Structure 1
Amino acid sequence: MHDLAGLEARFGATNYAPLPVTIVRGDGVYLFDEQGRRYIDMMGAYSAVSFGHCHPRLIAALSGQARRLDTISRAYFNDRLGPFLARACALTGMDAALPMNSGAEAVETALKAARKWAYKVKGVPADRAEIIVADGNFHGRTITIVGFSSVPQYRDGFGPFPAGFRHVPFGDATALAAAITPNTAAFLVEPVQGEGGINVPPDGYLAEVAAICRAHNVLLLCDEVQSGLGRTGRLLACQHDGVAPDGLMLGKALGGGLLPVSLFLARREVMDVFAPGDHGSTFGGNPIAAAVGLAALDLLVEEQLVERSARMGAHLMRRLQAINNPLVAEVRGRGLFVGLELRRDVDAGDMVRNLLQAGVLTKDTHRNTIRFAPPLIIDERQIDWAVDRLAEVLDAAVPQTVTEAAPAK
């Protein structure tokens, strides 16, 4: 057998640092390597595999549509896109949806819509529109998006960046109100920050933000590419605060883990700023993507995965919070979107590699945090097994001197 990891390292770019395991098969919440060893997937491909790996209904939707009609571009209507968009709008309460591929493309679409809305509807002078973003954000990897990131590595070497963005602290509604000017078009925010460290804002934050945006005629754009579609125990994470945004971005789980599918959804007033030729995508809204996206939304409802995420997420939080280990600084999250932050003198990357050896796959992220976002089909027994392995790995990492000392946070 070829050295598969070696081939990837030799011929691929080094923009990722994969863990030392080569996955060849997936089934439900489990992944298998070249030697047939089984691992439990506690990361879910950054929320993309919410339905588990290779779900038979999604595979059937994909293969059935692929045998009938593939990509024809948006130069023509197709029989799958309309039902998909209608279902997405009905579930989210939005008026209209624009299909793209990746989450970053959905965010770029939202930025274009917000700026054009500012000029055509709000009356902001030409080329003066501003969009406010939150510190610690992660909305993708395009030049525009990394340009307003607050992570130095994401920006290093990629400038100059597009202008027109302002930053405020995440979770601080007062700071948002102070940052708004007559030229402010929108506030772009993740209801729960994923890559930033599974950061959950204070209760009521989004509701206060929504009220501020309404008062100043500013669009509220919620990036739910990671947090949406049941991940936090509600269909949308913004629903925890009873908020209906002006614009919404979905992706990752929308493609059932099989292919990239994303949507920008919005109120009609916002979406109607687009005219033919303003925006588009060759593959966005293709029949296969639409068929899989529709099947994923149907599956989410019929298998009650949003409700399951709330129940299993509460169990995961209880188990993680019960870990009695001085290396743990904090456990935070909503639903099956949870982060376990370690003390600053402990390397979360080391713990993730040790978890790999124990049969648990996940990844570390910012704030020295281990991320947990397993498929929504996970059950209590599987959660217990994964948390037990985590507890063993953490216990093995505690030096005797630390064990005898008071826990340091």
Structure 2
Amino acid sequence: MRSSSASPPTHRSWTRSGTYTMTQDSTNIPIMSVILRTSACAASSRPESMIDPIDLAATLVRMPSPSADAGGMRAVQQHVAGVLRDHVPEARICTGGEDRPWTLISVGPDARVPLFACHTDTVPVGDEKNWARDPHGGEIDASHLHGRGAVDMKGGLAAVTAALIRAAGEGAGGHLLLTADEEIGSLGAQRTGETIADLELTGIIVPEATSLGVRCAHRGAYWLRLIARGRAAHGSAPERGVNAVLRLAAALGPALKTAPLRHDEVLGTETASIGTFHGGDATNIVPASATATLDQRTVTEPAPLLEHWRRIDGIDEVETILDLAALRTDPHAPFVRSLPAPVDRAPVSYFTDGSVLQGFRPDVPIVVWGPGDPTQMHAVDERLEIIQLTEATDLFEQVLLSRP
């Protein structure tokens, strides 16, 4: 249900009873209430079987799917595919990948339509004692959905699913690509190239958390494994050995300060951060090896960074773990300008599957645009505003109903 273009601006609010109350800003007089959780949508032209994105998101949060858990990710993908099949029997579903499952769901006419790319893994919960609520409880209070993955990105996935069902009811459609292991390097998306190569697409939307502002860029990710060698000796006679832990630890600080980090006017400045450090086999043995992992966020090709670390005294081996290119989309591209949301030229701080998908489809504009506060991503007590989830569903439906 939409007010006419001549109507005054409206304010929308969510109430715990499941009601959207819409009031005119100029008078604050209620003009419409839409009951989301009952069959009282008599004024709506949509079928009463429409899926509630809030309930679906809560269900997905209750399905643990940490990265590298193929069974958990597959279960999420199968559930979403089943929901779409139940509501849109003509939906076309293609699956693949054993250890890193993927699913492509196509709804509506086989024409130029958008593709939504959603990963189905989450980061680990960590120590559940640090959580105020069950991280897999999918609890809903007056304003938020709580739990691991609510923001990153099962809320966005639920909004897309509900929007596809609505759009199909009005003769429109689009594609939904579900991937695995995005959180550990977009490893699942790397297996979908052939699947999306021949799709006729207007654009690709990655519904990660952007507080519903459209973003067109993010830095790339270049991860390295840094290895130092030493010589083992008895812990009581350290002078007889070469301590690899001390060699590597001494090398890292100065090397980080001299790393050739570059700046880009759109993407910002590159960063470098040590993520892990491991060394030694036992307390009473001088460690013969030590390893650190390095997370670098890049604005262009990483060759100078690799060369820098290879030259550092105290680092004997450098291995590339991950190399994802930066995402850049023209904010003035017709598809981007057609989206019913403001475009923010600032990049998002994280990487997305968009890095991989742009390599497969350089001809298609890719944006990051979804519900949720980005500061909630990977956070303890992760939570998603319900109002953003419902608004995202409406916005995604508008995109699907628009014609190229």
TM-score (norm 1): 0.23
Pair member with larger Rg: 2
More helix by share: 1
TM-score (norm 2): 0.23
